[in-house]
Structures are given as C-alpha cells and as structure tokens.
C-alpha cells in the first residue's frame, strides 16, 4: 500500500537556526498563522546571501582591478579575476533559486529544484576557467619577468581582497548549511580560498619590494594551485549532490526514527535524495498484515510525521506499508520480479 503525503506540518517546517532552537524549547503549534513554506523561505535566504555577497565581492574586485591597471601585478590580476568570477557565480545560483520556487508541473513533477545542482556545475566550470586564466598569465610573466609598480598599493589591495572574501565565505557557508544548499556552500569555500590567495599576493608584493621580480609570477602560480584545490573540493561536493548522495548519518537517523513509530515492525528499503536544497524520502515499512487498510494508512502517516521531525530539511516522504511475512505465504512482490534489472 502506498501513502503519499506532501502537506505542511508547521511544527517541523521551521526555518533558520533560531526557529530550530525554538522548536526544541517550545510546544508544537498547529495554528494556521504558524504555517511557513520552508522552500520559499530558504530560497529567499539564499537569494539574500547571493546579492549581498555579489555587492561585497564586486566592490572588492573593482578596487583590485584599479590597482592592477597601475601596478601590472599578475598575482593581483589572478586574484582579481578569481574574485570577479566568484561574484558572477551569483547569477546562475540566483536563477536556480528563482526557478526552485516554481510549483511542480505535469512535466517537471518534482519541481525545479535540480536547477540548483546545475548551477553548482556552472560554478565548478567557472572556477576551472579562472584557474586556467590565472595559471596562463603567471607562466607568461614567469617567462617574461617585469617589475611590479606601486607595490604598497598592491599590498593594500591584497588585504582588501582577503577581508572581502573571508566575510563573504563565512556568510555563504553559514546560509548554505542552514538551508541545505551544496552549491552555496561550494561557493563559500570558493570565496574562502580567494581570501587566502589574496594573502599570497601580499607575499608577492613583499618579494617585489625586495627586488625579486619572479616573486609576483611565482605567487600567481601558487594562487592557481590553490584554486585547483578548491576546484577539487567543490567538484566533489557538487558531483555527490548530482548523484543523489546523502550523508549516511541522515539514513541512520531516519531509520532510528521509523523504528520508534508504534505499529512499524521493521524498516525495509529507505532512500533519501536532495532536490536542490530540499530532501525527499521513499521508504517501505513492515506492519502487521492483519490490520485494516485504514490502520495501515495511519501507521504510514505516523511514519512520515516521524521522518519530517527527525530529518532536517526533509519536505516530503512517500511511505509504503508492507504486510509482515507469514510462513508459507508467497511474497506479494513476486509479480514485480521480472521488472527488476538483472
């Protein structure tokens, strides 16, 4: 028997850290005024994070670009290009968050949450392109060394780059983890690496001030290597999300919650998947085969309710109730065996 429930449970659909703490410390409420759509709220938080960080990184990149124009520092150029690319990643993510708000249709029956995962792929490609550009520019300057002008200005620009990127990194990672957005977390990690590469530019400026002209392109290559590292981490995170990977601890948590539901004799197949920054679950539970259809339905509803409480950012669950096996009775799923891939 299959049981589909996608209605709202106001007391487990709270949003944000403050609401989750409130959920633990205050009684549950079923008042209409308390019903908040978590998908819309989390998308709104993601949009705010994107536009605020876009403004901060845009100002940072502009300030650095002005210094690049007068100094000729390729290390600072690489940092500026990377900051600009990081700021522009707000565009595909913003589009994804807007699409994710759209209701499901008969063609896109799960909605448009996957657009966020596609945006993550765009971000990974953007990081890769900025790494290639920074590396190529550094190698060109390594083969043709030139002195860096306005070294103090380069040093100040490097500090500005670090401050801007670290602030944006903390903000994006915090919001991304709060709403369950792998793409936004990846973007935050990207920004954090940019901050450390800005400090590397400071080292290059120091070397240039001491007359070592190769310091600037060598730091540029170090920045390229740092970008490659964050590319690896971001690509791994986005790849896992696209492949429907979840934290095994979430599966353990879901199973533990289901076993506590009265009437559930055992937990069968359990699957979790991310759709954007929202989780969905599909699970089979074993119930007493002698209960009525109405009673089995009640158990399935209780199981879904338990899941929605136990698993953060879970918005819907499909619960299937299987009768407990009886010795000598044929498996009711045998009719489906020939549809199972070999």
Task: Give the pLDDT band of residue 42 (cuts 50, 70, 90).
Answer: low
Q: Is the dihedral of CA 233, 239, 245, 250 positive or negative?
A: positive
DSSP lists the bridge partners of residue 316 as 280
- Tell me the C-alpha distance between 337 and 297, whole Å: 25
Give the other-Cβ count within 10 Å of 320's Cβ: 16
Residue of 256, 313, 320, 253 lying closest to 283 (CA atoms): 320
Q: Read off the pLDDT of residues 239-279 as tens digits, 9 standing for 90 and up.
A: 888 888 999 999 999 999 999 999 999 999 999 998 877 88
pLDDT of residue 150: 77
Q: What percent of the chain has pLDDT over 70?
A: 86
pTM value is 0.65
User: What's the whole-number average pLDDT of the chain?
Assistant: 78
Crossing angle of the two packed helices 90-100 and 38-71, in degrees rounded to 10: 170
Crossing angle of the two packed helices 74-88 and 151-179, in degrees rounded to 10: 30
> Is residue 320 over pLDDT 80?
yes
DSSP lists the bridge partners of residue 282 as 271, 318
pLDDT of residue 40: 43
> What's the residue count for the chain?
342
Residue 144, CB half-sphere, CA atoms under 13 Å: how many?
5
> Is residue 300 over pLDDT 80?
yes
Task: Give the pLDDT band of residue 342 (cuts 50, 70, 90).
Answer: low
> Is residue 321 over pLDDT 90?
yes
- Tell me the C-alpha distance between 311 and 334, whole Å: 32
- Tell me the C-alpha distance between 231 and 121, whole Å: 11
Report which of residues 332 and 228 the model is more confident about. Answer: 228
Which of 15-24, 37-46, 290-299, 318-327 has the least mean pLDDT? 15-24
- Tell me the C-alpha distance between 162 and 164, whole Å: 6
Q: Three-state DSSP class for 193?
A: helix
Q: Read off the pLDDT of residues 82-102 as tens digits, 9 standing for 90 and up.
A: 777 777 777 887 888 788 888
Q: According to DSSP H, which parts of 73-181 are helical? A: 74-88, 90-100, 114-143, 151-179
Residue of 66, 57, 15, 63 lying closest to 36 (CA atoms): 15
Q: What is the mean pLDDT of residues 154-179?
A: 85
pLDDT of residue 91: 81
CB-based burial, 172-198: b 16+ in 10 Å, e otherwise: bbebbebbbbbbbbbbbbbbbbbbbbb
Specify whether the CB–CB gap between 13 and 40 falls below 8 A.
Answer: no
Q: Read off the pLDDT of residues 190-208 as tens digits, 9 standing for 90 and up.
A: 777 777 777 777 777 777 7
Specify whether the CB–CB gap between 312 and 275 falls below 8 A.
Answer: no
Q: Three-state DSSP class for 243?
A: coil
Q: Read off the pLDDT of residues 108-157 as tens digits, 9 standing for 90 and up.
A: 888 888 888 888 888 888 888 878 877 887 787 777 776 677 778 888 88
Task: Give the pLDDT band of residue 2 (cuts 50, 70, 90).
Answer: very low
- Tell me the C-alpha distance between 188 and 190, whole Å: 5
- Tell me the C-alpha distance between 280 and 5, whole Å: 11
- Tell me the C-alpha distance between 16 and 115, whole Å: 22
Q: According to DSSP H, which parts of 26-73 are helical? A: 38-71
> Is residue 11 over pLDDT 70?
no
Q: What is the mean pLDDT of residues 154-165?
A: 85
Q: Read off the pLDDT of residues 25-35 as tens digits, 9 standing for 90 and up.
A: 233 322 222 22
- How many helices (H) and strands (E) in the chain? 10, 4
Q: What percent of the chain has pLDDT over 90?
A: 20
pLDDT of residue 100: 80
């Amino acid at each position: 028997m299959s049981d589909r429930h996608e209605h709202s449970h106001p007391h487990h659909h709270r949003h944000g850290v403050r609401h989750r703490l409130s959920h633990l410390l205050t009684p549950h409420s079923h008042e209409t005024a308390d019903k908040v759509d978590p998908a819309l709220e989390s998308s709104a938080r993601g949009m705010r994070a994107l536009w605020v960080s876009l403004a901060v990184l845009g100002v940072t990149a502009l300030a650095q670009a002005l210094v690049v124009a007068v100094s000729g520092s390729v290390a600072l150029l690489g940092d500026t290009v990377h900051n600009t690319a990081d700021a522009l990643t707000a565009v595909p993510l913003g589009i994804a968050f807007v699409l994710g708000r759209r209701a499901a249709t008969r063609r896109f029956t799960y909605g448009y949450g996957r657009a966020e995962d596609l945006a993550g792929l765009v971000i990974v490609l953007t990081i890769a392109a900025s790494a290639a550009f920074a590396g190529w520019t550094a190698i060109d300057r390594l083969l043709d060394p030139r002195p860096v002008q306005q070294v103090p200005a380069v040093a100040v620009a490097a500090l500005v780059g670090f401050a801007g990127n670290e602030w944006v990194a903390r903000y994006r990672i915090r919001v991304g983890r709060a709403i369950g957005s792998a793409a936004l977390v990846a973007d935050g990690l990207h920004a954090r690496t940019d901050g450390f590469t800005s400090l590397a530019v400071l080292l290059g400026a120091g070397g240039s001030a001491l007359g070592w002209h190769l310091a600037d392109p060598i730091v540029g290559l170090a920045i390229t290597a740092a970008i490659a590292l964050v590319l690896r981490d971001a690509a791994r995170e986005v790849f896992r999300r696209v492949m429907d990977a979840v934290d095994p601890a979430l599966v353990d948590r879901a199973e533990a919650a289901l076993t506590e539901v009265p009437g559930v004799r055992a937990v069968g197949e359990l699957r979790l998947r991310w759709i954007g920054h929202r989780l969905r679950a599909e699970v089979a539970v074993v119930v007493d085969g002698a209960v009525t259809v109405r009673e089995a339905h009640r158990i399935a509803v209780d199981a879904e309710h338990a899941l929605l409480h136990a698993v953060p950012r879970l918005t819907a669950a499909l619960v299937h109730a299987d009768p407990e096996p009886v010795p000598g009775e044929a498996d009711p799923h045998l009719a489906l065996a020939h549809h199972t891939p070999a």
